[in-house]
Chains A and B, each alone.
Chain A
């Protein structure tokens, strides 16, 4: 019960973080691409920025927490897939999300 409640709480907390991150992300895109922008120009601006690195790392962390917990309910309710095998698969999925996300963050901001 306690672990299920913990998952529920962190999913809602990560949703709140994501709401903010998505807004900042979209606003930054709209602001940055006014007048057109190339990949090289983007990287010139982003590389070496510790603040943006931290922001997008938080974004990736929130996604890593939020998505697998939501998927856990979907798998349970739609496919009837519950229990240890589902939880382990979702843990792997979370690790995949974290790896892919942080790889992108490192490429763009490091």
Chain B
């Protein structure tokens, strides 16, 4: 059985492990093997193992990835793996990052649905083929893994920048015809910490494991901001 040489970032240092190579092995399998068989003190985070929950993202050989759906075959160069925590987030321990700021920014970007119907009201009727509904559909499948946030240069340069995921969420709601908090949301995402600072490097789009394009969403927010500003609604 061949062996995978794995370097894991732990605080300020790298720790080396040798992990047996298996068929269809994912990076999460590798980390789990280390924690269960080689060093039980290793801290990492995961939940669903099937690419739904967005909790297992780490930096693998220099790029942020969801580890549960990343096969070792695809990323290991000459049988080597380098695993570190996500960038642009504070590290709690080993491979575990503090996601608070990441999710607080969703709230700051007015990522909450702002409807006006009451429980007693009838259902809102939206055509599944309306233009806005289709736009909302495009990027709605975000799992909140923070891979895009970790890949974003603007977040690295400006810690206040809301980041691709929060802005993508805002764009989805901008296209939700039931939402009545639109002006407030555009005010939240305009400005230096919001969509206007995006450099369109497209690292978020390149790295998104769900193949979404936050860049396109941010471009949409820029257009919506421009229109609102010209109408004096900002």
Contact of A1 among B154, B187, B226 (CB under 8 A): B187
Decide if B190 touches A1 in the complex (CB within 8 Å).
Answer: yes
User: A31 near B: Cβ within 8 Å?
Assistant: no
* Closest CB in chain A relative to B226 CB, distance in Å: 6
Decide if B229 touches A6 in the complex (CB within 8 Å).
Answer: yes
User: A4 near B: Cβ within 8 Å?
Assistant: yes
Decide if B158 touches A1 in the complex (CB within 8 Å).
Answer: no
Chain B residues 113-162 with CB under 8 Å of chain A are 154, 157-158
Decide if B158 touches A4 in the complex (CB within 8 Å).
Answer: no
- How many residues of A are in contact with the other chain, CB < 8 A? 12
User: A73 near B: Cβ within 8 Å?
Assistant: yes
Q: Could you tell me the distance between the alpha carbons of A82 and B158 in the complex, rounded to whole angstroms?
A: 10
Q: Could you tell me the distance between the alpha carbons of A8 and B194 in the complex, rounded to whole angstroms?
A: 12
Of the candidates A5, A8, A76, A78, the one having the most CB atoms from chain B within 10 angstroms of its own CB is A5
Contact of B158 among A5, A8, A77 (CB under 8 A): A77
Chain A 40-53: CB-based contact to B (< 8 A → 1; otherwise 0): 00000000000000
User: A92 near B: Cβ within 8 Å?
Assistant: no
Contact of B191 among A5, A9, A73 (CB under 8 A): A5
User: B234 near A: Cβ within 8 Å?
Assistant: yes
* Closest CB in chain B relative to A56 CB, distance in Å: 29
Chain B residues 161-187 with CB under 8 Å of chain A are 187
* Closest CB in chain A relative to B132 CB, distance in Å: 23
Decide if A1 touches B197 in the complex (CB within 8 Å).
Answer: no
Q: Which residue of B lies closest to A82 (CB)?
A: B192
* Closest CB in chain A relative to B198 CB, distance in Å: 11
Chain B residues 220-234 with CB under 8 Å of chain A are 225-226, 229, 234
Chain B residues 189-227 with CB under 8 Å of chain A are 190-192, 196-197, 225-226
Q: Could you tell me the distance between the alpha carbons of A2 and B232 in the complex, rounded to whole angstroms?
A: 10
Q: Could you tell me the distance between the alpha carbons of A1 and B234 in the complex, rounded to whole angstroms?
A: 8
Q: Could you tell me the distance between the alpha carbons of A8 and B198 in the complex, rounded to whole angstroms?
A: 11
Q: Given A1-B190, A5-B191, A9-B226, is A78 in contact with B157 using a C-beta cutoff of 8 Å?
A: yes
Residues of A within 8 A of B192 (CB): 4, 76, 82
Residues of B within 8 A of A1 (CB): 187, 190-191, 234
Residues of B within 8 A of A8 (CB): 196
Contact of B196 among A4, A77, A78, A82 (CB under 8 A): A4
Q: Could you tell me the distance between the alpha carbons of A43 and B129 in the complex, rounded to whole angstroms?
A: 63
Of the candidates B154, B187, B196, B225, the one having the most CB atoms from chain A within 10 angstroms of its own CB is B196
Q: Which residue of B lies closest to A74 (CB)?
A: B157
Residues of B within 8 A of A78 (CB): 157
* Closest CB in chain A relative to B196 CB, distance in Å: 4
Sample of 10 further A-B pairs with CB below 8 A, known A4-B196, A76-B157: A1-B187, A1-B191, A5-B191, A5-B196, A5-B229, A6-B229, A8-B196, A77-B154, A78-B157, A82-B192
Closest 6 CB pairs of A and B: A77-B157, A4-B191, A1-B191, A8-B196, A5-B190, A5-B229
A–B pairs, 8, beta carbons within 8 Å: A1-B190, A2-B229, A5-B234, A8-B196, A9-B226, A76-B157, A78-B157, A82-B192
